[in-house]
Amino acid sequence: MLTNPATKYRPFPPVALTDRQWPSRTLTQPPIWMSTDLRDGNQALFEPMNAERKRRMFHTLCQIGFKEIEVAFPSASQTDFDFVRELIEGQHIPADVTIEVLTQAREHLIRRTMESLRGARRAIVHVYNATSQPFRDSVFHMSKADVLGMAVSAVALIKHLAEAQPETEWVLEYSPETFSATELDFARDVCDAVTETWGATPDRPVIINLPATVEMSTPNVYADQIEWMHRELARRDSVILSVHPHNDRGTAVAATELALLAGADRVEGCLFGSGERTGNVDIVTLALNLYTQGIAPGLDFSDINAVARTAEYCTQLPIHPRHPYVGDLVFTAFSGSHQDAIKKGFAAQAADAHWNVPYLPIDPADVGRSYDSVIRVNSQSGKGGIAYLLESAYGIVMPRRLQVEFSSVVKDHTDQQGCEVNANDLWNIFAATYLETATPVRYCEHHLFEHGKAQGIRLVIEQNGIQHELTGEGNGPIDAAVHALQGVGIRVQVRSYEERSIGASDEAGNAQACAFIELRPVNGSAEHYGVGIDGNIITASIKALVSGVNRNASAL
Ligand SMILES: CC(=O)SCCNC(=O)CCNC(=O)[C@H](O)C(C)(C)COP(=O)(O)OP(=O)(O)OC[C@H]1O[C@@H](n2cnc3c(N)ncnc32)[C@H](O)[C@@H]1OP(=O)(O)O
Ligand SMILES: CC(C)C(=O)C(=O)O
């Protein structure tokens, strides 16, 4: 890289618009959406979509709710031409959807394009020519007047051909390609000439589409360019002002949102930011950004994974795991404090209240994602995430101090293994740590009996492989079992005790009790939990006691 990039690159000049209005506006409604997945998206693929992939993408776009879909560049290839014919002849276009096709401003290409649309109920013909200085000088070798003339002749030809195909309701779209690099007054003059030539009226408006063919400036400059055009265009009431941003600087979404504040009515883009180079603006992100502001976007992403899988199939390109709203990891928290806040946020979120869960800008359920993937556990995780997973997958609601204790067990595991653990792994670690412990003591069976006012217990255990039948009394079964264990030299105090059911009880009485007992050795200070699960609540408690004894012993 250059030590002084100013010798090679120039800053993009600002727009002289001192009374700009867009910074103090807010978005209150969605734009008209136009998907160009099948055109700008398609022209950017290693392997353009074949007919079957195009069909599938078109069907998905209709299902999502797009009413305008650019389906092809029919003069570019037989595949594209045939696809348009198939849609029209096969009557595959829903009544409320209008197809759009793109053409250069060249006579033979326009004629072929209009031919492809024969018999369409309604169609948008999108014609473009580049207007910026490098294109005028180096590509076309034309003056400004000639470039304006190219656009006007193309529109006049489309108008003439359209009149000869009256069965179709025609809509014209014109793009001054490279608009964002074009002198604004020249862009306005070309667009005004197009509007005039087409004879646009408020009832039959023309779509004037202002592309950031290459994104060249900060989003506020693009917004200024759009507001300037919005204010300067003649017959603005006969124009649908459209934007077509690309993402070369990574700010296409921001640029589009500001352009909408600046007066744009319509947005062209692709699902998940597919498209040339760094992509067209991502319509999914735009739509869901609106949704999270309480604005219905008019596009349905309630099964966003299905849309993502279709897009990946059709484009043969993967979606990044951190792509907004859809990436495999965007509803996932690994770090402990985030997991803790999300868990508490979910617990505090009332069903009918405004969404207010920390770290999650949208309810994953609204886009068909499940909560299960929200919290995942690796070495960066804390007790909150671990507790959340065990509770949501296995119904184990751990007391807070057990959460702390168990999280250090899990951390040892993840530090050693260096990998993520899922809910099933957590359950296995939990079971091995608390439920399957048999050394030095293994619970065999117990029998309760009354002894005056006291609770008596006969407790059968194995200690280091030798069976013992112990007897104890206390003010309840746990106290009696604690006393019985003293018969083999085990002296512990119960610091806390909790019991919860896991799973609803069925007709066969299948609910299980889960007991948590926190123990301290009489001659020690370390406290450890024991956990017992059983269909019988007393048995669960005695098992928890034995589990705690073993945990204390293993900590010595
Ligand atoms: C920013 C965008 O996404 S614009 C859309 C771009 N997409 C595509 O181009 C995909 C499909 N394109 C194609 O298949 C071909 O380019 C075609 C069929 C359109 C044209 O093919 P060709 O006639 O062989 O021309 P080629 O591909 O070399 O394009 C360059 C020619 O187009 C001209 N041209 C480029 N844009 C335009 C335009 N909007 N209007 C008129 N002429 C144009 C150039 O001046 C150049 O003309 P020249 O050969 O006389 O110097
Ligand atoms: C044809 C136009 C709209 C285009 O694709 C672009 O400028 O990026």
219-237 pLDDT, tens digit each: 999 999 999 999 999 999 9
pLDDT at residue 24 tops 60: yes
**Residue 202's CB: how many other CB atoms inside 10 A?**
10
What separation in Å is there between the alpha carbon of 73 and the centre of ligand 1?
Answer: 11
Q: Reply yes or no on whether the pLDDT at 510 is more than 90.
A: no
In the annotated binding site for Mg(2+), the residues are: 40, 244, 246, 280
Atom of ligand 1 nearest to the CA of 127: 39
Q: What does the pLDDT read at residue 110?
A: 98
Q: What is the pTM of this model?
A: 0.83
Q: Please give the single-letter amino acid code of residue 150.
A: M
Q: Which residues contact 461 (CB under 8 A, 6 or more apart)?
A: 441, 442, 443, 444, 467, 468, 470, 485, 488, 546
Q: Given ligand 2 and candidates 39, 125, 126, 128, which is best to mutate, with the most ligand atoms within 8 Å of its CB?
A: 128
- Round to whole Å and give the CA distance between 69 and 90: 17
What would the mean pLDDT of 405-422 be, rounded to a whole number? 90
Question: What pLDDT, on a 0 to 100 scale, did the predictor assign at position 63?
Answer: 98
How high is the pLDDT of residue 371?
66
What is the whole-number distance in angstroms between the Cα of residue 95 and the centre of ligand 2? 27
Q: How far is CA 154 from CA 27, 109, 116, 158, 503, in A?
A: 35, 10, 17, 6, 71
Burial class (CB in 10 A: 0-12, 13-18, 19+), 537: middle
Q: Which residue from 81, 104, 210, 247 has its CB within 8 A of the most atoms of ligand 1, so it is best to mutate?
A: 104
Relative to the alpha carbon of 77, which ligand is closest?
1
* Residues flanking ligand 2, CB < 6 Å: 40, 102, 128, 175, 177, 209, 211, 213, 244, 246
Cα dist from 333 to 357, 371, 429, 531, whole Å? 13, 11, 21, 28
SS3 118: coil
Res. 21 pLDDT band, cuts 50 70 90: very high
Q: List, for residues 351-379, the tens digit of each pLDDT value.
A: 899 999 999 999 999 999 976 667 778 88
**Is pLDDT above 80 for 185?**
yes
Residue where the block lists tokens 């006579």:
107
Q: Report the distance separating Cα 527 and Cα 555, nearest Å.
A: 9
Mean predicted lDDT score pLDDT of the chain: 95
pLDDT at position 71, please? 98
CA angle in degrees (0–180, nearest 5) for 47-51-57: 85
Please tell me whether the peptide bond between 440 and the residue prior to it is cis, using omega within 30 degrees of 0.
yes
Which ipTM value was assigned to this complex? 0.96
Residue 511 confidence class, pLDDT cut points 50, 70, 90: confident
Q: Where are the beta strands (DSSP E) in 382-508?
A: 441-451, 454-463, 466-474, 492-502
User: Any idea which of 188-202, 331-345, 449-463, 502-516 has the lowest mean pLDDT?
Assistant: 502-516
Query: Which two structure tokens, joined as six digits, stand for 31?
Result: 């734009």
Whole-number percent of the chain with pLDDT over 70: 98
pLDDT in tens, 443-479: 999 999 998 889 999 999 999 999 999 999 999 999 9
pLDDT of 93 higher than 70: yes
Mean pLDDT, range 93-97, rounded to an integer: 98
Q: Which pLDDT does position 509 carry in this prediction?
A: 64
Helix axes 423-430, 400-417, angle to 10 degrees: 110
Residue 93's Cβ-side half-sphere holds a number of Cα atoms within 13 Å equal to: 24
